[in-house]
Structure formats: structure tokens, C-alpha cells
Amino acid sequence: MPHLTQIKVRGYHLDIYQHVNNARYLEFLEEARWSYLEDAGDVAFFAEMHLAWVIVNININYRQAATNGQTLNIATQFSKIGGKSAVIHQVISIAGSDVVVADADITFVCLDQRTGKAVAIDGELLARLSTHLTD
Amino acid sequence: MPHLTQIKVRGYHLDIYQHVNNARYLEFLEEARWSYLEDAGDVAFFAEMHLAWVIVNININYRQAATNGQTLNIATQFSKIGGKSAVIHQVISIAGSDVVVADADITFVCLDQRTGKAVAIDGELLARLSTHLTD
Amino acid sequence: MPHLTQIKVRGYHLDIYQHVNNARYLEFLEEARWSYLEDAGDVAFFAEMHLAWVIVNININYRQAATNGQTLNIATQFSKIGGKSAVIHQVISIAGSDVVVADADITFVCLDQRTGKAVAIDGELLARLSTHLTD
Amino acid sequence: MPHLTQIKVRGYHLDIYQHVNNARYLEFLEEARWSYLEDAGDVAFFAEMHLAWVIVNININYRQAATNGQTLNIATQFSKIGGKSAVIHQVISIAGSDVVVADADITFVCLDQRTGKAVAIDGELLARLSTHLTD
């Protein structure tokens, strides 16, 4: 089951087209990822390992406009763990409906903050991230 | 030749990692697109045609972190015009260097604001957009 | 009793000083005001009256830095209703403590969206807003 | 003569009322202050002294709405230097007109980043800041 975050669309999220602006969605997605990682205990785990999440790609589809007053559900889950990077899949939909507003794949690497380099995803780190695939 | 926009990175563009935040880049890209479309006369053309740009996909690679005080060059050009959608390719690099910070493909459709529907890219609209491919 | 909204500080709220950026607080305050007005039924009331809230002054004190991971309580209440304008007082504090991060007075007028002019706060509008002073 | 910064209003600066959002103005003001301090050589001076600007109050009047496509002039100048704090006055107007969109007083202290405490504005620091009053 994906992790769920809710965000209510407000007037300051909109732009000239009266829809949520394309850049604002990335903040919504980031909010949902932090909420997920915090709930899963990963924020603390990563801090201890001196690892930072560094995003290397975001591929986002904007499927339907969201407007003022709507409540958005953001579903967040890991979809793939590779040798050096992992992918989180996120779907934004309008609460109480099947309408998908946007969906995105977020690809990131784990950066060792002491060396400034991405680390291989193996050992303890792989074990940790793998638990998310079967959540 | 792609259109060029310059943006200087400021303290308020950064996030907890002291790098420009992933969402902020989409604002930089949007700034560059408006600047391009304005310089090209397209803002006026689209307003007259009652057409709005609606983004359907953004695929962005984050290649290198940008930090406070750096000046960014944003190169913007059309890369593809299809039957219903078109693609703008944008590359963000650090001024005075070859370092690419990010590059992105922005896919959009042209929405008729009177019907709320995407229009086919043909006729006068196709002619107009096509001039950008050979800029 | 003031209305309460909670916001958790995330990495993307911070700036180069690793504190919540001064501009971001205005979004936090706006979020809290919409939440308050919605809970109070005022959003619907104002829409029916064709009135928009237009801010004419914000006076905000930044008293203490807020950082990543802290939960902020935002207390919102009307503090004054005048002949043409009203004031909402908001206090941001760190949850579970007495530490005040920021406090602000937001002065606004009520704009008639059909005439584009601020209206006098009297009659039905005054009665409505006055209920907030004794909440 | 105050320092001048120009910003063009874009679609992503607007909110539900189709005007520049109140929080966005604080980013415009911050952009103008960084530009001013950089042009004056103060960014380098402050870095050497291990001093950070910390805003303690912003008092901003919103006088007129700004909308898409307008170019804004932001005039920035020091207006007061006290024993522990200083004030920068900023006026945002529409280019090519006398229309003032907003004006603000920004009060800040100078924080010693090694002690985390505000320093007295005297000696070399006072001399430096005082040059701005007679610019």
C-alpha cells in the first residue's frame, strides 16, 4: 500500500491559468516524500549513515488541472531499486474521486555527505530500501 | 541558436542541502520560456488565437548542484512539433563554464480557452511553431 | 480562542541560512488564514457576497529562527474591525514550547469584485466579521 | 539615489486573484536587496566579517495590484542605522509610470555567525553601513 499525504489546494498555489502551477506540484511531491520517509523512520536512518537523497531525474505527467479548494491525495511508494539509484513513484489524485491530476517518477541517488559522492546501493542500505518495495 | 536567459542564484533559491531546490528549477525554466515566447512575439499571437500553453509532461535531469552566487544560463529551443503536442528543450548551465546543471524536455499542448480542449497543431499554428525549429 | 493550524518545516522551506525563509512565512500565514476562514464558513459567505479579501499591509516580526523538522503552530484571530479595514493577528510558535517564531498583523479590506472597490464594513458584513472578535 | 532592480511579472507569480501574491513580493524585495548589496560590495564585506543579515521585521504596504506582463522597478536604499539594527526602505513601482505597487521597511540586525548573536553596529561596521545613507 502506498503512503498517503493530503494537501488542500489554496489560492496561492494557483497561477495565471487558475490551476496549480507546474513547479508547485514538485513541492507537493517533496512534502509527501518527506512525510513518507519520516513515517518510515528513514530520515533518522539516513542522517545516521551521513547519506543525503539527491534527485537525478523527475519525470512528471500533468494529466488534469487542480483548482482552488480541492483536496489532493498524494500516493508515494518505491517502485524500483537499482545498483546506484532508486525510483519513487507518486500519484496525485483528487480526494473522493478517481481523477488523477499528475503522476511522477522520482529517481535519486544516495550521496555520502562526507565524500560528496553517490554510494552503491548494497548491504545495509539495500536491505533498508528493499523493505519499502513490499510495504 | 537557442534563446538565452540568465538567472543569478540567490540565498532564497536554496534548500536544506544549500543547493537550488528541485522545484525552483521549474520556475527558472518557466521564466526562460516566457522570456523566449515574448521575445518571439508568441505571447501576443497565442492571446489573439485564444490559445493557452498547457504542459503535459516535464522530464528533467538534475546533473550538478547550483549554489549561491552562480549565474545560470538557460538555453531554450523547440525540439519537436507533433500533431497534437510540441516539445521545448531547455539546458541550464553555469555561466562561463561548460557545466550543465540540468536539462529538461517540456511537452505541451495548445488549449483553446473557449472550448477547454487541446487543438490539433496544423494550419496557421503549425506554421507559427515551425519557425522556431529553424531559429 | 484563536484558530490553530499546524505546519511541519521541511527542507524546501529553508534558505541559505538553513532557516525558514522570510517569504515562506507569508505562505504559512496565508495557509492558516484560509484554513480559519474555511472552518468559519467565511469562504462561502464572501463568495456569495462577491467580496474578495485584499491585503493592504503586513507587519511581521521575525523573533526566532525555525528549522527543519520542527512543527509550527499558527494561531489566527481577528484583532480589530474598523470602518473600511480589519486586522487579523497571527502568532507562529514551535509546537510543544513557548517559543514564538514570528507574529504578524495582517490588515485587509473587502473588495467588491463587481466594482473593483473596497466596501465599507457595515451592515451584514460587519455583523459577520464581528462574530470573530468574540470567538 | 536608490539602487534599482527590475523584475517582470510572469504568470507563475500570480495567485487566484490574478495579481502578484503577497508572499512573492518578499522574494522580489529579497532579490533587489541581494542585487544592491552585491553591487555595493557588501556581500563580500559581510562574508569576511562572518556576519549574516537577519531580518527582524518587515512592514509592507500593498498599494496597487500588479499583473502579468508588467515590469516592476524596485528601488532600494538604507533609511536608518541604529545601535543594533538598520532599516532598508524599498519601493516597488510599475516601470514607465508613477504607480506605486508596494513599499516596505525591512529592519535587520547583523548576526555574528561564530557566536550566533547580533552585534552592535559600531566601528568598521557602522562606517561601512553609513556610506549607504549618503549614496
pLDDT tens string A29-56: 999 999 999 999 998 899 999 999 999 9
- CATH number for the domain that contains residue A118: 3.10.129.10
B61 vs A contacts (CB less than 8 Å): 56-57
Torsion over CA: B125, B128, B131, B133 (sign): negative
Catalytic residues of C: 15
CA B1 to centroid of chain Cα atoms: 15
Least confidently predicted of A92-96, B4-8, D113-117? D113-117
What pLDDT, on a 0 to 100 scale, did the predictor assign at position D133? 87
Q: Quick check: C51 pLDDT over 90?
A: yes
Using CA atoms, how far apart are residues A7 and A15, in angstroms rounded to an integer?
Answer: 17
What ipTM goes with this model? 0.95
**Locate cell 485584499: which residue?**
C54
Which B residues 20-39 touch D at CB under 8 Å?
27, 30-31, 34-35
Is the CB of D23 less than 8 angstroms away from the CB of A12? yes
Using CA atoms, how far apart are residues A36 and A53, in angstroms rounded to an integer?
Answer: 13
What pLDDT, on a 0 to 100 scale, did the predictor assign at position C44? 87
Banded pLDDT at C135 (limits 50, 70, 90): low
Is the CB of D11 less than 8 angstroms away from the CB of B34? yes
Which B residues 87-126 touch C at CB under 8 Å?
none
Range of the domain at A85: 3-134
> What is the tally of structural domains in chain C?
1
Banded pLDDT at A1 (limits 50, 70, 90): confident
Q: Which of C11, D15, A46, A104 is nearest to B24 (CA)?
A: C11
Q: Is B57 on the interface with A (CB under 8 A)?
A: yes
Is the CB of D55 less than 8 angstroms away from the CB of C22? yes
Amino acid letter for position A52: A
Q: Which of B51, B71, B69 is nearest to B115 (CA)?
A: B51
Chain B: residue nearest A65 by CA? B54
Banded pLDDT at C90 (limits 50, 70, 90): very high
Nearest to C31 among A10, A31, A34 (CB): A10
What pLDDT, on a 0 to 100 scale, did the predictor assign at position D135? 56
Helices (H) and strands (E) in chain B, counts: 3, 6
B34 vs D contacts (CB less than 8 Å): 10-11
**Mean pLDDT, rounded, of chain C:** 95
Using CA atoms, how far apart are residues B85 and B123, in angstroms rounded to an integer?
Answer: 14
A17 vs B contacts (CB less than 8 Å): 52, 54
- At B132, list the grid cell: 522556431
Average pLDDT of the segment spanning A87-93: 98
C85 vs D contacts (CB less than 8 Å): none
B14 vs D contacts (CB less than 8 Å): none
Provide, rounded to the nearest whole percent, the portion of chain C with pLDDT above 90.
90
Using CA atoms, how far apart are residues C99 and A119, in angstroms rounded to an integer?
Answer: 39
Chain D: residue nearest A19 by CA? D16
Strand segments, DSSP code E, in A14-85 are 51-62, 71-81
Active-site residue flag, A135: no
Least confidently predicted of B25-29, C2-6, C40-44, D80-84? C40-44
pLDDT in tens, D86-134: 999 999 999 999 999 999 999 999 999 999 999 999 999 999 999 998 7
Judged on CB neighbours under 10 Å (0-12, 13-18, 19+), D5 is buried
Is the CB of D27 less than 8 angstroms away from the CB of B11? no
Banded pLDDT at B135 (limits 50, 70, 90): low
Nearest to C56 among D23, D27, D62 (CB): D62
What is the nearest CA distance from B63 to chain C, expressed in angstroms? 19
Q: Quick check: C96 pLDDT over 90?
A: yes
Provide, rounded to the nearest whole percent, the portion of chain B with pLDDT above 90.
90
pLDDT in tens, B15-59: 999 999 999 999 999 999 999 999 998 988 999 999 999 999 999
Q: Which residues contact C90 (CB under 8 A, 6 or more apart)?
A: C29, C32, C33, C74, C75, C76, C77, C103, C104, C105, C106
What is the nearest CA distance from C70 to chain B, expressed in angstroms? 13
Q: Where are the alpha helices (DSSP H) in chain C?
A: 22-39, 42-48, 123-130
Query: Kind and range of the H or E element at B24?
Result: helix B22-39
Q: Quick check: B98 pLDDT over 90?
A: yes
Nearest to B27 among A23, A52, A63 (CB): A23
Average pLDDT of the segment spanning B93-105: 97
Rounded to whole angstroms, the maximal C-alpha distance in chain B is: 48
Is the CB of B12 less than 8 angstroms away from the CB of C18? no
Q: Quick check: C117 pLDDT over 60?
A: yes
Q: Quick check: C133 pLDDT over 90?
A: no
